[in-house]
Amino acid sequence: MIKKLQQPNDEAPSLAEDIDTAARLLGHLEAEKAELPNKIREASNELDSIEMVNLRRRFDEIDIHIYAARVRVEGLKIRADEAMLIEAEMEVARLVEPVELTKARLDEAQAAFNAASYALRDAQTEVRNVWFSIAEHRRRLQALNAEANKPLAPVVRSRIHQVA
């Protein structure tokens, strides 16, 4: 079976690490964005205008950083999937010939099975026909025996045929 990101070169492990790093960075940026409104409120309550301006700038800029991090994660995932696709296509190419050979053997076996089945059917039909023939001959023989075992009826002859 194909294993995710399994490449013969050293790019695969670093690609997986790059995806993990980019995903962690994206998570940190999204968490930071969620915390910024509270930090701006705290700076406002403390009357720290410089911190408030810096936080507000960060709040305005963070969306583009989040967007860039998402683009990076998706781009890295595409590269990883493309690497897996190459391996999967190689596996498919490797399996095509054995499948075709097996299919040819299966077709030959099916043809042999069909021929043997037809021969068996014909032989069974011949056996049945011979049994029917034997039964018919036995019936005729019984009829002949029954006729031969009948008591003979007296022969009635006219007086004309009697010799004195």
Residue 161 lies inside a defined structural domain of this protein: no
Is residue 5 in a domain?
no
In a domain, 136, yes or no: yes
> What is the domain extent for residue 79?
11-146
Q: Is the dihedral of CA 47, 49, 51, 54 positive or negative?
A: positive
CB 83 within 8 A of CB 15: yes
Percent of the chain exceeding pLDDT 90 equals 71
> Tens digit of pLDDT for each residue in 23-56?
999 999 999 999 999 999 998 898 888 998 999 9
The confidence score (pLDDT) of residue 61 equals: 94
Query: How many distinct structural domains can be found in the chain?
Result: 1
Which residue, 59, 27, 64, 61, is CA-closest to 40? 59
Q: How far apart are alpha carbons 162 and 164 in whole angstroms?
A: 6
Taking the alpha carbons at both ends of the chain, their separation in whole angstroms is 114
Is the predicted pLDDT of residue 154 greater than 80, yes or no?
no
Is 106 a domain residue? yes
Q: What is residue 148's predicted lDDT score, i.e. its pLDDT?
A: 81
Structure confidence at residue 161 as a pLDDT band (50, 70, 90): low
Residue 164, in any domain of the structure: no
Q: Of 91-105, 109-123, 148-162, where does mean pLDDT reach its minimum?
A: 148-162
* pLDDT at residue number 1: 39
Cβ 73 vs Cβ 29: under 8 Å: no
Number of helical H runs and strand E runs in the chain: 2, 0
